[in-house]
Amino acid sequence: MSDIVLHNYYRSSTSYRVRIALEMKGLTYDYVPHHLRHGEHLEPAYLAVNPQGLVPALIWKGMLLTQSLAIIEFIDEAQPEPPLLPKDALGRARVRMLAQMIACDIHPVNNLRVLTSLRTVFGAGDQDVTNWFRHWVNEGFQPLEKILASSAEAGTFCHGDTPGLADICLAAQVTNNARFGVDMTPYPTIARINAACMALPAFQKAAPQNQIDAE
């Protein structure tokens, strides 16, 4: 058993974020899948590991860490090279801002438990759920596109010419968008940055379709 264990689900975008970070750092880890649609994350065995019953959960030398952004920042501190955040305070704040526009404003209202509640509590149909998902992506991507397109700090990636935390969140969200047919035409800068990310081995290796539990 490795000192690093990742409890995750191949299609979870938050899990994808952490997998990218681990791959970028060249860290080996044990992959433990939990099928969210089958409710495996709510079984007693997993709740004993992570009482919140969410993925991802990282076990680092016996200690539990949850919440993808917190996990990634810890990984970045524990394994500093290559860095996922800029060295300057203003740059770090900008990258966190971009990452949180996705991770805090788009993802939480579009994750599986929210979409499931739309169906079970409010009787939403498939098209209703798809429209909901697309609406909140567009609400977040419209300002994100403007910021990235007009910022001198943006380069090949969200901040300069090396990938980091913001790119990890961006790529995972774009991958998730594809399942719901989000039109990326209005977001050429986001699409360009995503293409640059997906050309990198770490992003490819961590991609949902390349995981052991992919369906």
Please tell me whether the overall predicted TM-score, pTM, comes out greater than 0.95 for this model: yes
Q: What pLDDT, in 10s, does the model give residues 116-166?
A: 999 999 999 999 999 999 999 999 999 999 999 999 999 999 999 999 999
Structure tokens at 66: 């949850």
Q: What is d(CA 173, CA 26) in angstroms, rounded to the nearest whole number?
A: 22
CA-based diameter of the chain, in Å?
A: 49
Q: What is d(CA 143, CA 101) in angstroms, rounded to the nearest whole number?
A: 9
| pLDDT score recorded for residue 1 | 63
Cα dist. 18→44, 80, 143, 168, 177 in Å? 24, 15, 25, 8, 18
Q: What pLDDT, in 10s, does the model give residues 181-215?
A: 999 999 999 999 999 999 999 999 999 999 999 99
| b/e map 153-188, b = 16+ CB within 10 Å | ebebbbbeeebbbbbbbbbbbbbbbeeeebeeeebe
3 state DSSP class of 179: helix
Average pLDDT, the chain: 97
- Measured from the Cβ of residue 208, the count of other Cβ atoms closer than 10 Å reads 20
Provide φ and ψ at 120, rounded to 5°: -80, -35
